[in-house]
Chains A and B, each alone.
Chain A
């Protein structure tokens, strides 16, 4: 990889990282840039072209580790209850209004105590604790219509019925016409 290609690759990684921070709403622009540059520096140290990983992949690995570490601390005991701490932490950040309340603290040292307290109370719930009830349907007696239907529809087919309807309709109108012709001249 020549120097120009390498530089472009790191620029792309930086751009991607800034986009990620912006979409996460992680503090102000200056904080995002400063944090991103720090992380790029860490990623550069870890980058080894022989491993086949791109600069963006290495950068995102570093960011993923840093975010998980920071959010694990921030979530405190509740971190043990969740599978994906970064996702849970990010959700807590959004729910508690992290950017407005704590500004540029994310990935900048230890999470403040009030942030930890606020994070511990956040849970995405689809409902209160489950209290199961049994709601099962009872058999319904539909009365004589059901009996009639059960006796009929097993022998029932539409085609013969339609034929019969057509046949008897024709007979009916024929009889009507004959009646009219002979008795109402």
Chain B
């Protein structure tokens, strides 16, 4: 391989050439598309609706042109033997870290406790196997507000520390006031312990990183003191449902080209995705605390999605942000079905739209502005596509209607002198050529993907499925954008990272009722006003009508298992020989007994009755003066009330508050063990049977 280019050797000419070629290609493609559309409108003169279409088209075509050129440049990079200007080339292949103090932090919120701690255990062992865990400390930073999760996390932490002899190395911290969600959780860590560490590796609850990679990331940071953040490219893994397996297959095949293309133009001005990344703590503390957003009522409005802004602030402070595109060993899990995926998108949509404010903020690097723009357009493009579609259909309907009355022969396509055909072909090319390029790039190493035939079949089915799902997703994104702009909260079920159970068909119709309704309305309107367009719009109409069925089918774990058996949507990590030990360990599903026999309010029950859980919980609570000053009579009243009437006597908020009150818990613990059975509510008696 040609010698690597070190970050300090990146001259303005080198960076300028790369950016000029990348953005020049996007501009040229967008310009060409715009010209073709303009030409197609010319023969009859440009109507008002067509002017609207031209503006929308420019924004939308730019987006698909960007996607196309990312993959095209990524392909170019791979064909020429890899990018010489990558952060991972600044250290040797075998280099591992010194023992620079590094915190590995996992902010969690009501997650699958067993999975989280299995992951931590796997990574802890991975570090030991990769040359020792000296210098690395784990922090599980909990914001969980379900008592069941909270108590289960504490016990899981204790058991893990015992098992791994990791007391004083793996820490568990529960935040009393979970202000500013995940970014607030990380900032709280930085304020308390950040000064003790040089770096922090930020993980999500479902993240897995190999010990080797974590040590290499530290080595890269040590070698490059100007680097503030190194983002890895986490691969989706451990999927079981068809939805998840298709996603992880698509990510495995297409993402490397996107990543290589991305690094090609931004180099040291990359983005941060909020997890599976290493951060230099000092500049992060000094420069990356999130500002408040402008608000009409002068209220403090928190930035919902922190990562992109933190990358921009890090760059603004003069530090580099790199994307380690080729490093192996970084994983995460995807949502198991379309419903959960959209639930996540709802939150991301709000976050990305908020970033709009930073587009025009002085001092933000151009590359960061482009990352922000890309993030905003990821969601804003949906309502724009819908508007483009509606204006296009109305425009064509008018033309068709009047062309029937006109004496001129021929179709609209004919009037445009072929521009429409070229434009349609160009759009399809921009959308599908990246997929074809990625497939071609993967074919030479297709064996772990099930061989060339299965790889191609998987890619075709995946493309067809997403083509059908895209119109439904467009509708939901449009809904999210509109509701976010209007400040309306959309309720969506919580994220569910478990994929053992698929959606029911009725449940799926209940969730995805909107696309079929829109589909029926659209078909009816087209039959009445413009039946000729039904064939042209059939992929979109089919997507809307079939959305609940596709969501139902893809959510099924048995279908995921079946496709795995026949070798479809295979990824290398599904073969145990290619699966890192850390990922294998984290992915081992255990048949867990339900928490405390599945009894209701098991968190409260364990914190009060189970002597070990109680002792641990009380020991971990930081004593608070206000609790100590609570009158004894009040505690005694609460205790008596709870013991005689059961947990339903308190509201959920009161039960949660009780878990913060060490003194009342001690009193309850003593009382519940001391009272004769007949003086206890039946719920407590049932709890005793679970011990």
A residues bordering B, Cβ < 8 Å? 9, 12, 16, 19-20, 22-25, 54-57, 60-61, 64, 82-84, 86-88, 90-91, 94-95, 97, 122-128, 130-146, 149-150, 153-154, 156, 158, 172, 176, 180, 184-185
Contact = CB atoms under 8 A, between A and B. Distances in A.
A91 B619 contact: yes
Contacts of A125: 167-168, 171
A95 B157 CA distance: 11
Contacts of A154: 296
A138 B286 CA distance: 10
Which of B49, B171, B674: most chain A CB closer than 10 A? Answer: B674
Contacts of B172: 126
Contacts of A95: 158, 161-162, 167
B362 interface: yes
A180 to B, nearest CB: 6
Contacts of A12: 676-677
A83 B171 contact: no
Contact of B361 (A56, A133, A143): A143
Contacts of A90: 611-612, 615
B362 A153 contact: no
Given A84-B618, A133-B285, A158-B486, A140 B291 contact: yes
Nearest to B171: A127
Interface string B142-186: 000000000000000010011000011001111000000000000
Given A124-B158, A124-B616, A128-B171, 16 more contacts: A9-B676, A24-B612, A56-B676, A57-B674, A60-B674, A126-B172, A131-B192, A133-B190, A134-B285, A138-B291, A143-B361, A144-B360, A145-B360, A146-B360, A156-B296, A176-B398
B612 A180 contact: no
A1 to B, nearest CB: 12
A130 B193 contact: yes
Given A88-B615, A94-B158, A19 B688 contact: yes
Interface size class of B (residues with CB under 8 A): 35 or more
A134 B191 contact: yes
B619 A88 contact: yes
Contacts of A131: 192-196
Contact of A146 (B193, B294, B406): B294
Which 4 A-B pairs give the minimum distances between C-beta atoms? A140-B291, A87-B615, A60-B674, A137-B289
Nearest to B169: A128
Contacts of B120: none
Nearest to A145: B360
A23 B171 contact: no
B528 interface: no
B610 interface: yes
B167 A145 contact: no
Nearest to A59: B674
A22 B173 CA distance: 29
A146 B357 contact: yes
B544 to A, nearest CB: 24
Given A9-B676, A142-B358, A180-B402, A132 B612 contact: no
A19 B549 CA distance: 52
Contact of A126 (B47, B294, B620): B620
A166 B156 CA distance: 58
Given A12-B677, A19-B691, A176-B48, A137 B292 contact: yes
Given A133-B285, A141-B362, A23 B162 contact: no
A108 to B, nearest CB: 18
B25 to A, nearest CB: 29
Interface in B667-682: 670, 673-677, 679
A128 B675 contact: no
B187 interface: yes
Contacts of A134: 191, 285
A133 B673 CA distance: 44
Interface in B32-78: 47-49
Nearest to B193: A127
Interface string B352-365: 00001111111100
B623 interface: yes
Given A56-B674, A95-B158, A124 B195 contact: no
Contacts of A184: 402, 405-406
Contacts of B161: 95
A60 B670 contact: yes
A124 B666 CA distance: 17
Contacts of A144: 360
B291 A137 contact: yes
Interface string B267-289: 00000000000000000011001
B601 to A, nearest CB: 18
Nearest to B159: A94
Contact of A138 (B196, B289, B691): B289
Nearest to B309: A140
Contacts of B158: 94-95, 124
Contacts of A172: 48
Contacts of A87: 614-615, 618-619, 666
A133 B191 contact: yes
B367 interface: no
B294 A135 contact: no
B139 interface: yes
Nearest to A181: B402
A128 B362 contact: no
B637 to A, nearest CB: 19
A132 B190 CA distance: 8
A176 B311 CA distance: 48
B195 A132 contact: yes
Contacts of B644: none
B168 A128 contact: yes
A46 to B, nearest CB: 14
Nearest to B611: A24
Contacts of B49: 176
Contact of A137 (B48, B290, B356): B290
Contact of A185 (B359, B405, B612): B405
A21 B158 CA distance: 20
Interface in B580-611: 609-611
A9 B679 CA distance: 13
15 contacts: A24-B611, A54-B679, A57-B676, A90-B615, A124-B616, A125-B171, A126-B173, A127-B171, A134-B191, A135-B289, A137-B289, A138-B291, A145-B359, A184-B406, A185-B405
A127 B173 contact: yes
Contacts of A20: 611, 673
Contacts of A138: 289, 291
B675 A54 contact: yes
B574 interface: no
B307 interface: no
A91 B618 CA distance: 10
B369 to A, nearest CB: 11
Contacts of B614: 87
Contacts of B187: 135
A55 B674 CA distance: 9
A44 B679 CA distance: 21
A131 B194 CA distance: 7
B137 interface: yes
Query: Which of B47, B611, B622, B662 has most chain A Cβ within 10 Å?
Result: B611
A19 B357 CA distance: 61
Contact of A91 (B48, B285, B361, B615): B615
Contact of B171 (A126, A135, A185): A126
A126 to B, nearest CB: 4
A20 B192 CA distance: 38
Given A64-B670, A130-B192, A142-B361, A91 B616 contact: yes
Given A12-B677, A94-B158, A127-B173, A140 B623 contact: no
